[in-house]
Amino acid sequence: MTKGEHEAAENDAEDISVGGLRDLERRVRELERLLGRRAAEGAVSEASHPAPPAAAMKPRIVFLGAEPRAIGLIEIYGLADHPDFALADRRPDFNGRQFHGQKVFGFDELALDRLEAVVITEDPVVIKDSAEEYAGAVGFLRRKGLPPGQVISVSEPGKAHRALSRVVARTAEHNRQIGHLAVRRNLYHRSHYAYCMILAAETALQMSLAKVSAVEFGVYRGSGLKNMCEIADFIHQTLGVEFRIYGFDTGAGLPAVADWRDHPEIWTGGTYAMPDFTELAAQLPDNCELIIGDCKDTLAPFLRAYGSAEAPIGFVSLDVDQYHSTVSALKLFSAEATHLAPVIPVWVDDAYIGVLQTTYAGEGLAIREFNEQHDLRKIEQKVVRTDDFPRLWHHCIHFAHIFDHPMRQGRMPVNFEYFYHTAY
Ligand SMILES: C[S@@+](CC[C@H](N)C(=O)[O-])C[C@H]1O[C@@H](n2cnc3c(N)ncnc32)[C@H](O)[C@@H]1O
């Protein structure tokens, strides 16, 4: 602003007391225009200061996408005003504005010579529109010439945390809080897995164990399993508990439908055949194993060979869709008590969301029958709450209670430093 413009602005400011409200608003807008600002529009407003010259902004970490999730991550990692961090957006109308108090840069405003990672904050799947948004962000970064190794999605919390850890100095306690808060605030993708897995980790801590296992029944292309591996990596880095992960799948898709209990109106044999399980196996980390074959045949030998009390099964995802497959998968909960955690969060993918899903067919029926057949093993739905927003997935969480487990029988010391339920 020139000296003359300053004086004009100051004179305007003295005059405004004489006008009516409308005139006052007009004058305020005019004053802001003179000062190089504009009024806030919703959650997004233009920056109150002009953008620094591009060369001044050389972030090591960029969040791409002015999304509520980005703000949550900025808060829990303490990134606001961090000199190595920038929030950017590829939508031109967001550039130079403020989003929940955080300045939003245009991606082209940033110098990339120190850049280590870009975290895309849009959700990779969930609903069609957001998937397109995410694909748009990936394409945008590709066109900007970013190597894929520098691009991290919110389904990769392990990679994101590792990248952020290089720029954010944290105490061990802050690190642990990040683990809890990221899950509690649903900041990473597939919150239901994250929620169940952090409970599994806390159960391990209660048992003074450093390891726990997670099992996914029904893997298909592996997006859930790979996400599980990333969440495991994140929890290992934050809470210090290590996971072993097992994915069971026929490899050939759903078995043939046997009768009405398998929901023939929804499912057909052969749906969800894995495109190539050797390729998927090669993408999995060392702590994850793919077990190919019908789980009616593969589970018993797995449990016989398992025999490890040092990493009991602490989380199970049931996503084999049909009644008969679920009956086979639920045999896991008949394993020796020492193979299992005393209480196991169970993700039940197809039991309660759809109108056709009931406890008289499909996964719901398999669970009901399991409970009828076992006196000391019970699987029960528990509607959970992670933050202030009710979410559909809160209704799909179950817990398997292993009442004959040494801990549930009062024969095992419990580390009561960890009261995980109250934390959520
Ligand atoms: C809906 S898909 C799983 C999707 C995956 N959980 C995800 O979120 O990315 C269901 C999978 O269950 C597998 N499946 C069904 N019955 C099975 C059985 N009896 N044994 C092993 N796998 C089975 C199918 O091969 C199919 O890939």
Domains and CATH numbers, the chain: 61-159 (3.40.50), 191-423 (3.40.50)
What pLDDT does 73 receive? 96
Residue 13: which pLDDT band, with cuts at 50, 70 and 90? Answer: very low
* For ligand 1, mutation pick of 288, 291, 316, 319 (most atoms within 8 Å of CB): 319
- The top-scoring range by mean pLDDT among 40-49, 305-314, 377-386 is 377-386
Q: How far apart are CA 401 and CA 159, in angstroms?
A: 33
Q: How far apart are CA 40 and CA 98, in angstroms?
A: 9
DSSP 410: T
Average per-residue pLDDT for the chain: 85
* Ligand 1 within 6 A of CB of 77: no
What pLDDT does 20 receive? 36
Q: What is the mean pLDDT of residues 55-80?
A: 91
395-413 pLDDT, tens digit each = 899 999 999 999 999 998 8
- The top-scoring range by mean pLDDT among 101-115, 376-390, 405-419 is 101-115
In the reported structure, the alpha carbon of residue 26 is separated from the centroid of ligand 1 by a whole-number distance in angstroms of 62
What pLDDT does 127 receive? 53
* Ligand 1 within 6 A of CB of 350: no
- The top-scoring range by mean pLDDT among 37-51, 119-133, 296-310 is 296-310
Q: How far apart are CA 260 and CA 253, in angstroms?
A: 19
Strand partners for 343 = 401
- Structure-token pair, residue 166: 């290089």
DSSP 188: S
Q: How far is CA 210 from CA 24, 94, 240, 294, 416, in A?
A: 65, 45, 7, 31, 16
- Our CA dihedral for 151, 287, 290, 324, rounded to 10 degrees, sits at -110
* Ligand 1 within 6 A of CB of 247: no
DSSP 248: E
Percent of the chain surpassing pLDDT 70: 82
* Ligand 1 within 6 A of CB of 295: yes
Whether the pLDDT of residue 146 is over 50: the answer is: yes
Give all strands (DSSP E) within 122-277, no chain letters.
151-153, 211-217, 242-249
Which of 97-101, 169-173, 413-417 shows the lowest mean pLDDT across its residues?
413-417
Q: Which atom of ligand 1 is nearest to the CA of 222?
A: 9
Minimal-distance CA residue to ligand 1 atom 9: 224
* For ligand 1, mutation pick of 227, 254, 266 (most atoms within 8 Å of CB): 254
Q: How far apart are CA 53 and CA 31, in angstroms?
A: 24
- Our CA dihedral for 137, 139, 141, 142, rounded to 10 degrees, sits at 160
* For ligand 1, mutation pick of 126, 196, 221, 250 (most atoms within 8 Å of CB): 250
What pLDDT does 42 receive? 36
What pLDDT does 397 receive? 92
Pure H helices in 274-322? 277-283, 295-306
Q: What is the mean pLDDT of residues 176-192?
A: 91
* Ligand 1 within 6 A of CB of 362: no
Q: What is the mean pLDDT of residues 211-225?
A: 97
20-37 pLDDT, tens digit each = 333 434 443 444 444 333
355-371 pLDDT, tens digit each = 898 999 999 999 999 99
Of the chain, the end-to-end C-alpha distance in Å amounts to 51
